[in-house]
Structure 1
């Protein structure tokens, strides 16, 4: 049946043309935007995922900027630490030259002070955007990553940079807690005279007596006169030429005396025949070093601001530890504090005993025994600078030049440690920068795989749809002409 009211063919053709036009519109949108999913209506779930990932990409781009800033700041700090190390090495050369007695120590001291001023200038200027990593002890956190958990929660990660204080500040002694158990002095009295060992001899004529001191030995044959034999034994010991060790006769006792500050003296005795010989009542004895020791508790943890004090001769000598320091640093810091006072009557040395504990040795060259050697400690101070003691170097005297040599070694090691720490941190940041860059590229690639249009496919589809559109228009035109045929029935 034909009808002029309902044109089924035209309706079919129209619906087909609308579908073709809709597909053509989508294809043209893909080609113009380059995206297969340009909005939530195209595919809500994929679009939502892509937007989250795009926000992550933006975040990692910000992280890249943060890492670049941190890398620049570290480069300045590392350069400063290396320059300070070079200048300290130059100062060491001056100090070594000052060990000679026939040099102009005043001029050498002037050079050292000039180099010290240059170090101060470098440390003060080593900042980037106001952040100085070679002054102070507070850690610096550099944003390094953004971590997204499975539940969608996001947290930031950081690379922590430990500041390396290369200032010359003395620090502030704390007032909290009690750290006196972190160290113990061997004796409260530091003697000025020698340490001794008594050799007792029962002489028998025609017998011989041997005394060994360290790796040197002397043997004396006894004669009928005990005094002559004893004098001969004392003279033989003195002729060994052991620096700081001598023998003398006190009544009926042969005394071996040691003026060695930091070395023990081992003595062994023996005899042949019917006589007898002992040293301090035995066949062997040790003459201890003259110096008294402060032994530090190696198992104890050292915290930032822990303050340690040595009292000697009525004066206090302080060192305040910084973050990450050990008992070795404390021992060396207290040595520098004492050496910096310029006391020509005091010699110091840091050693490690057989059990691994660090010791500060203090020897007395004054006119009388010092009876107030003591150790104490408190919490809550402000740390001494890593170059604490640098400004106190004084090579104008022979004694000062000797002390300065030990101090400069410690300061050089501190600056080397600082430069090494910065170098390690630079490596971490470079590695993280490369990772963030690769990760950002991977995220962009993943987003593209989800939402980008396949341009080859879109181009082919566009041409096909354009042909379909033309055919649909023609089909609709033909369908619209169908009612015209009904007119022929009325002619």
Structure 2
């Protein structure tokens, strides 16, 4: 039946053209934005996952910055500690040289004094971003240092921040408030020779004039220093050197862990980017092919609608 009130063919052609236009709009949007899932209406599930993972990736980017800062702090402390170890080794060598008969021990002591001043200078200089793990001039002890190491999301959706910890109290070389808290200022008790027997004695390398002083005798010599006392000082310096080496080894291990974690976070961030891309990125080859097809369909739809609308004009010819 032909009707001039209801053109079924035109309505069908118009519906088809609308569908083609909608698909064409989505395809053009995907090509212009580069995303096949750009908003929640495109695919709510994928959009939600992508949005959450992008947010987590931003947090991981911040973690990378924090790890860079942590690496700089540990590098600074390790560099200072390693330099201090070399200086203490030099002090031990000077003391061994002073044990040789005929050596002017007063002159050797002048060298020792300068080396000890250099130790204090190195400790004070090993500071980064306002933090110094080798020198403490506060009444409070240097505690455990926390450095942001990772950001994780649990299976239940909860998030947490993990830290890399280092007990900086074990790396402090000089403490100006409590000498017993510094590796170079604390007294070290040794068993030194005393004639044909032995006796205990306590020595420390640096006197920081702290409020709480260390027990024992400062490592310094003169022409009056006995061979037994000199050997005791060598033992004390060697013990201090071992403690410093242990602290440097621990600090180096922490630094290595930070580097490994930093590399892992970078790799994880790249993997998340790839995963999000697989969910929401548009395949430009596919979209361009679809665009050509839809443009052709659109042209055909317009022609079909034109033909359907012309049917009403053909009916008028019957009444002429």
TM over 0.5: yes
Instruction: Determine if contact 1:168/1:391 at 8 Å carries over to the other structure.
Output: no
Q: Give 2:173's aligned residue.
A: 167
Q: Give 2:139's aligned residue.
A: none
Q: Give 1:6's aligned residue.
A: 6
1:445 aligns with 2:274: yes
Distance 1:470 1:446 in 2: 38
Candidates 211, 221, 226, aligned match of 1:398: 226
Counterparts in 2 of 1:20 and 1:9: CA distance versus 1, 3 Å: same
Render the CA deviation track for 1:8-31: whole Å, top value 9, x for unaligned.
111111110000000000000011
Instruction: Determine if contact 1:146/1:155 at 8 Å carries over to the other structure.
Output: yes
Structure 1 residue ranges without an equivalent (≥5): 173-318, 326-331, 350-360, 364-381
Higher strand share: 1
Counterparts in 2 of 1:62 and 1:47: CA distance versus 1, 3 Å: same
Q: Give 2:297's aligned residue.
A: 468
Candidates 409, 413, 426, aligned match of 2:238: 409
Paired residue secondary structure (1:482): helix
Paired residue secondary structure (1:36): coil
Counterparts in 2 of 1:395 and 1:427: CA distance versus 1, 3 Å: same
Counterparts in 2 of 1:76 and 1:476: CA distance versus 1, 3 Å: same
Within a 5 Å distance, the mapping from 1:322-401 to structure 2 comes to: 333-335=187-189, 362=200, 392-396=218-222, 397-399=225-227, 400-401=229-230
Counterparts in 2 of 1:348 and 1:130: CA distance versus 1, 3 Å: farther
Instruction: Determine if contact 2:187/2:216 at 8 Å carries over to the other structure.
Output: no
Q: Give 1:146's aligned residue.
A: 151
Structure 2 residue ranges without an equivalent (≥5): 137-141, 202-209
Counterparts in 2 of 1:167 and 1:133: CA distance versus 1, 3 Å: same
Q: Give 2:106's aligned residue.
A: 106
Instruction: Determine if contact 2:135/2:174 at 8 Å carries over to the other structure.
Output: no
Higher helix share: 2
Render the CA deviation track for 1:358-406: whole Å, top value 9, x for unaligned.
xxx538xxxxxxxxxxxxxxxxxx9x99xx7899111211244222211
Q: Which has the larger radius of gyration?
A: 1
Distance 1:346 1:30 in 2: 92
TM-score by length of 1: 0.57
Instruction: Determine if contact 2:105/2:221 at 8 Å carries over to the other structure.
Output: yes
Paired residue secondary structure (1:446): helix
Q: Structure 1 residue runs of 4+, over 2 Å off?
A: 164-172, 319-322, 344-349, 388-391, 398-403
Query: CA offset at residue 106 of structure 1?
Result: 0.9
Instruction: Determine if contact 1:85/1:412 at 8 Å carries over to the other structure.
Output: yes
Distance 2:221 2:281 in 1: 75
Instruction: Determine if contact 2:57/2:272 at 8 Å carries over to the other structure.
Output: yes
Instruction: Determine if contact 1:141/1:161 at 8 Å carries over to the other structure.
Output: yes
State the superposition RMSD in angstroms: 3.0
Instruction: Determine if contact 1:142/1:160 at 8 Å carries over to the other structure.
Output: yes
Counterparts in 2 of 1:419 and 1:113: CA distance versus 1, 3 Å: same
Within a 5 Å distance, the mapping from 1:81-480 to structure 2 comes to: 81-136=81-136, 137-163=142-168, 164-169=170-175, 172=178, 320=180, 333-335=187-189, 362=200, 392-396=218-222, 397-399=225-227, 400-480=229-309
